[in-house]
Structure 1
Amino acid sequence: MSRFLGEPNFNDATFDSTSISYNFEHKFSDEWKFRQGFSAIIVNGDTRQVELFDPLGDDRRTLPRSPLRTEEKQEDYVLQNEIFGEFSTGSIQHKILVGLELSRWGYDFNYFRGTLDPIDIFNPQYGAQATNFEQELHRKQRSDNLGVYLQDFIEISQNLKLLAGVRFDINDVSVVNKITNTTINQQTTTRFSPRVGIVYQPSSTTSLYFNWANSFNPQFFRVSRTGEQFPPTTGEQFEVGIKQDFFNNRLSATLALYQITQQNVLTADPVNSRFSIATGEQKSRGVELDIAGEILPGWKIIANYAYANGFVSRDNTIPEGDRIAGIPQHSASLWTTYELQKGNLQGLGFGLGLVYASEREAQLPNTFTLPSYVRVDAALSYRRDNFKVGLNFRNLFDTKYYNTDTFYIYPQAPLTVLGTVSVQF
């Protein structure tokens, strides 16, 4: 985890960002109101880094290196208009939401690649100079999206409620090669995304629920090895569950079963991991159990267990049945705190947490796994009136563990201590 194979004098990034936002609301009556929100974020950045994609040399210790210098600009604009209303049709109550959303995302990416001496991974010597930079790529990507949505929360009776909604999106994406000033790819996609949810409460402490939803996410950040734009990710989710309250609502438990199906999910290109490919279809099925509440005055608990079976269900490149990278089949967490309620030490609090994840696949196609781990967290705090100080200890025993996004494997933070001071007014 401590070995650095880049160049200390060629490893930096400079970014500056500007953001503007506003939120406007107007209330026509007690039942109807209008809201408009706008946000704009503009980020400019320059980076210098060394990429390590090539395999080791024949001596199994010499690693080729490739220096990369980038100039980047990203712009995000979102304008959202919504109308909220309440009305009744007979004995049935409605809470309706109508919205119109306009968004634009742009990304200008210009990078230059040079040459750099290789490095001995067992005896690294630094000081090599990156030279001979040439422009390798300059692309400008843009995504414009228009979304119109309608949602109605219907209270059929005191113990039966229904949520129904639909969203329609028109998305236009283009990729321009700025070196040749030609459009590499342009596509327009339209999509209806409905959703339905039902909650039935046979008693004041028990809720049964079901929901079905569709999703639509344009993929405008990455392009394929051949410069093509990827189609949007689409998904469908089913979930059924029960929520039960115990001990006069001091403790609650939720048990849920779900299935998520997604098409066109990106993963690393097995031919060249600098690029992506879109998997045909992925499925995730699982069970989740959550428990939260206050067992005794001052003693709180949050516990979770999840079983997840995520796999590639259809594809022409990746073997069907391969497990989705980064998703443990079994995971669990426990966080409990206790705060003294009386005496000279009233307000002194303690916290202890455990996080477990079973082994996970590191990439698609599956070739190796990341090991399971157990992480321990802890906390100390002291509260007096409206004043509170605390110390949080993450990864108390300095456990070594790793996560993946299928493109890279990231070592996670060692023991980390965070101090906080807060005052409530």
Structure 2
Amino acid sequence: MLRLVSRAGLMTTLAFAAPAWATDPAEEPPPADQEITVTGVRQAYRGDFTLAEIPQSIAQIDEAVVRENNFVRLADALDLNASVSRQNSLGGLFDSFAVRGFAGDENIPTGYLVNGFNGGRGFGGPRDVAGIERIEVLKGPAAALLGRGEPGGTINLVTKQAEIGRTFGSAAVQAGSFDRVRTEGDVNLALTGGLTARLIGYAEDGDTFRDQVHLRRWGLLPSIGLAIGPATRLTYDFEWTRVETPFDRGIVVLNGDFDTVPRDRFLGEPGDGDHVARATGHQLRVQHDFGSNWSLLVGASLRDTLLTGFSSDAELVPSRQKIFVDGRSLSRQRRSRRYDSRQWVIRAELSGEFEVAGLRNRVLVGADHDRFDNDQQFGRVRPAIVTGSTTDRAGYVLDILDPVYGRFPLPTPGPQNDRLDVQQSTGLFVQDQIELTDRLQLRIGGRYDDVSLRTLNRLTGIDSHRSAGRFSPQAGIVYRLNEPLTLYAAYGEGFRANIGTDVTGAIFDPETSRSKEVGVKLTALGGRLTGTLAVFQLDKANVLASDTGNPGFSVAIGKARSRGIELDLTGRLPGDVEVLLSYAYLDAEARSTLLEPNFNFQIRPGDPLVNIPAHNLNVQASKRFAIAGRDALIGGGIQHVGERSGETGTAFTLPAHTLARVFGEVEAIEGLTVFASVQNLFDARWYANSYSPLWVQPGAPRTAAIGLRAAF
């Protein structure tokens, strides 16, 4: 691909074969003040298309925007796009989000792609943004091509890769609130004319706004690029990361009072120690160009993760929870986890073009195979049923108003779940986009998936097997109305095997989906302002939710639907003001009836899906200028998240919140920049996600950081 990077860091990704202005008259060459860097790496699943030609809404979050905001977590960066909603994050130990209202399996981290490879389902801890060049939010009915994803969309992380023939680097150090210190570095070294190594690393240590919760994390993310002649490139990427922090379920909310306890109060047990999340990953990709019209991309990916630790969590069953009796004695269960996963993927695709009857056809043909091994050993000991004679020790009680940690010996968890899930998927896909006229293009395609799932429950001895296959069609149309506006419509079907079983050992039916979308794309101000307005509806069947009474297992809740409107705008306005605006209205709801026997709640058609706000908005503006001849930047943003359901099947609701942030930087001397940021500027009280009123994750208060960045 050809990567065009403006000084402000807003990025337009184009195909390698030809610049966008050569294939789309609505897009002009970049202005003279842009730097052009050719990396020669083709984007997986993309083909030779400009963004305006794709019948799909695609939002891109560039590294420069993330860096200016001083975001260091993937979850914070994804907040920049309003179609993405935070979900329950397993005590802060994995990434979980929904796109257009649909989140996937609550018991497994939300899946995402890394350079086009499935790579997000393991338990390696929350993803750091170090090593990420850009984040692509691929929305809508694209499952026919990508496969096994949520119908709302897929997140693709494009990593920083070795750039052939160049030597450059940067390093940064910063200090922030709660005694947090972070360092990171990125060095690209041209070793020979065709061999380049890129070395990326980060380390972070410090407290958090939560009492008793300390955080340590580090990672090494090197990349090697090798040019084998003018038409072939080999790229190898390595990932080695570690996160150490206590498991933290958050706060409790009694009778709708979000001031029940301070937002910094830890309700776990310091004696449990840290949970440790580790990840080791490898990616190898080979690209070969057959002249100017055809290209082959072949690759493989392997990622191992391991999460281990103990935690003390609030008991959710009312009959075992003393806090519902006196309003202060929190009965807790103690849990142990050893979650071991391995995912490996191989994939190949051939893209190119030809003419038939005078019509230009651009095709993409490929195949992939994915295997995911998920080995979960989970133990727990629960508090006794509350009676008049139940002691605080039997309830493993913590006084939420005056906590005394270490009051009782730590209970020893007994086996609750010891299960191995092995999911294998093989997919074949084909896509053809036909230029019917110089304004009208038609896309047709489809994907066939063959999926098998084995679940071995070592505690019960039940060994379950299931396999299924399905063809998922895709269709889209693109019409360039005039120079600034392009209309599009798309339809797609999706298919994904549900991993795991219910508590009896039965494997669930595969999840199926249908997606419809229409929209308009804008390219104005000579390509400096781009945007997409879309209207969509997504329908899913065989949807799962966590089995609250049996952790690690799921229950089928039937059908769900999400529909809405979204608007994404990004670009540079006159006066060199960089803007980013993202808004989404989502109506995501259950479409089936379910009675949950353990907690006696009922899901009814029309009930909202958990943690999905109806309204979500993120707007940001920044400007570069000079101070005493030195480059400087100042900017700010506002995020508004509306009310949303905080528990499946009940009326518990998380309140809306509005957060403000400011950021800036100035070049102190040539090659050395001072930067600073303040998140939650007005110290609003907010809540990131919730599973129940006793497991509510509070958001961070006002948080500041300042640092130095050197570059050569």
The TM-score normalised by the length of structure 2 is: 0.56
| Residue in structure 1 matching 2:558, options 257, 280, 285 | 280
2:518 counterpart of 1:240: yes
- Give the letter for the 2:697 counterpart: Y
User: Which ranges in structure 1 are unaligned for 5 or more consecutive residues?
Assistant: none
Paired residue for 1:195? 474
Q: Which residue of 2 aligns with 1:78?
A: 345
Distance 2:690 2:351 in 1: 38
Q: Taking structure 1 as reference, are residues 31 and 422 closer, same or farther at Cα in structure 2, changes over 3 Å only? A: farther
2:300 to 38, 49, 71: 38
- Pairwise CA distance, 1:366: 3.4
Q: In the alignment, does 2:375 pair up with 1:108?
A: yes
User: What's 1:207 paired with?
Assistant: 486
% identical equivalent positions: 28
Kept after mapping to 2: 8 A contact 1:323/1:366 = no
The number of equivalent residue pairs is: 422
1:101-153 Cα shifts (integer Å, max 9, x gaps): 11110111123334773222222211122244433331111101111111112
2:628 maps to amino acid: N
Whole-Å separation in 2 of the counterparts to 1:133 and 1:282: 36
CA distance 1:272–1:43, change in 2 (3 Å): closer
What is residue 52 of structure 1 aligned with on the other side? Answer: 314
1:270, 1:365 within 8 Å by CA — same for their partners in 2? no
**How many angstroms does 1:66 deviate by?**
1.7
Pair 1:226 & 2:488 matched: no
Q: For 1:29 and 1:189, locate their aligned partners in 2 and report how far apart those are by CA, in whole Å.
A: 39
Structure 2 match to 1:257: 535
**Residue pairs, 1:1-400, within 5 angstroms:** 1-54=263-316, 55=318, 56-57=321-322, 58-114=325-381, 117-127=396-406, 128-183=408-463, 185-220=464-499, 222-269=500-547, 275-317=553-595, 318-340=603-625, 344-382=628-666, 388-400=673-685
Q: Is the 8 A contact 1:240 1:256 kept in 2?
A: yes
Structure 2 counterpart of 1:30, one-letter code: S
The residue type paired with residue 266 of structure 2 is: F
Name the CA shift for 1:174/1:3 in 2 (closer, same or farther; >3 Å): same
Q: Give me the TM-score of the superposition, normalised by structure 1.
A: 0.91
Q: How much does 1:50 deviate?
A: 1.3
Residue by residue over 1:268-293, the C-alpha shift from the partner in whole angstroms, topping out at 9 and shown as x without a partner, is 44656764322211111111223322
Structure 2 letter corresponding to 1:216: F
Matched AA of 2:409: Q
CA distance in 2, matches of 1:253, 1:107: 39
The answer to whether the 8 A contact 1:101-1:147 is kept is yes
Structure with the largest fraction of strand: 1
Does 73-82 or 83-92 show the bigger shift? 83-92
Classify 1:365/1:272 alpha carbon distance in 2 versus 1 (closer, same or farther; 3 Å): farther
Asked if 1 retains the 8 angstrom alpha-carbon contact of 2:462 and 2:505, the reply is no
Call closer, same or farther: CA 1:18–1:305 in 2, change over 3 Å.
Answer: closer
Taking a change above 3 Å as real, the CA distance of residues 420 and 236 of structure 1, as seen in their structure-2 partners, is farther
Counterparts in 2 of 1:13 and 1:361: CA distance versus 1, 3 Å: same
Q: Is the 2:491–2:516 contact (alpha carbons within 8 Å) kept by the matching residues of 1?
A: yes
* Paired position in structure 2 for 1:411: 698
- Contact 1:339 / 1:346 at 8 angstroms: preserved in 2? no
Deviation at 1:9, TM superposition (A): 1.0
Q: How far apart in 2 are the matches of 1:283 and 1:267?
A: 15
- Measure, in 1, the Cα distance between the counterparts of 2:641 and 2:365: 41
Which stretch has the larger CA shift, 144-153 or 359-368?
359-368
- Is contact 1:167–1:194 with CA below 8 Å preserved after alignment? yes
Alpha-carbon distance, 1:367 to partner: 1.6
Q: Which amino acid aligns with 1:228?
A: A
Partner Cα separation in structure 1 for residue 491 and residue 544 of structure 2? 23
SS of the residue 2:478 aligns to? strand
Measured in 1, the distance between the counterparts of 2:690 and 2:292 equals: 47
1:286/1:308 contact within 8 Å kept: yes
Question: What's the secondary structure of 1:413's corresponding residue?
Answer: coil
Distance 2:593 2:430 in 1: 34
- Is the Cα–Cα contact under 8 Å of residues 114 and 130 in structure 1 kept in the other structure? no
Match for 1:50: what amino acid?
Answer: S
Residue 398 of structure 2 aligns with an amino acid whose one-letter code is I
Gaps of 5+ in 2: 1-262, 383-392, 596-602
Which is helix-richer, 1 or 2?
2
- CA distance in 1 between counterparts of 2:462 and 2:627 reads 75
| More off after superposition, 313-322 vs 138-147 | 313-322
Change (3 A) 1:377 1:350: same
1:5-31 deviation per Cα after TM superposition (whole angstroms, max 9, x unaligned) = 221011422333322220012333332
Cα distance, 1:253 vs structure 2: 4.1
Q: Secondary structure at the match of 2:271?
A: helix
- Aligned counterparts of 1:124 and 1:48: Cα–Cα separation in 2: 19
Question: Structure 1 CA distance, aligned partners of 2:666 and 2:495?
Answer: 46
Cα distance, 1:259–1:119 mapped onto 2, change above 3 Å: same
Contact 1:267 1:406 in 2 (8 A): no
CA RMSD after TM alignment: 2.5
Q: Which sits farther off after the overlay, 113-122 or 350-359?
A: 113-122
Q: Is the 8 A contact 2:446 2:474 kept in 1?
A: yes
Q: Using a 3 Å threshold, how does the CA distance of structure 1 residues 242 and 33 change in structure 2: closer, same or farther?
A: closer
Describe the shift of the 1:75–1:271 C-alpha distance in structure 2 as closer, same or farther (beyond 3 A): closer
Q: Which residue of 1 aligns with 2:61?
A: none
Q: Which has the higher contact order (CA 8 A, sep 6+)?
A: 2
The 3 A distance-change label for structure 1 pair 306 and 180 is closer
| Structure 2: distance between partners of 1:272 and 1:176 | 17
Q: Distance in 2 between matches of 1:161 and 1:87?
A: 15
SS in 2 for 1:314: coil
Question: For 2:481, what is the secondary structure of its paired residue?
Answer: strand
SS in structure 1 of the partner of residue 326 of structure 2: coil
8 Å Cα contact 2:675-2:708 kept in structure 1: yes
Deviation (angstroms), 1:345? 4.9
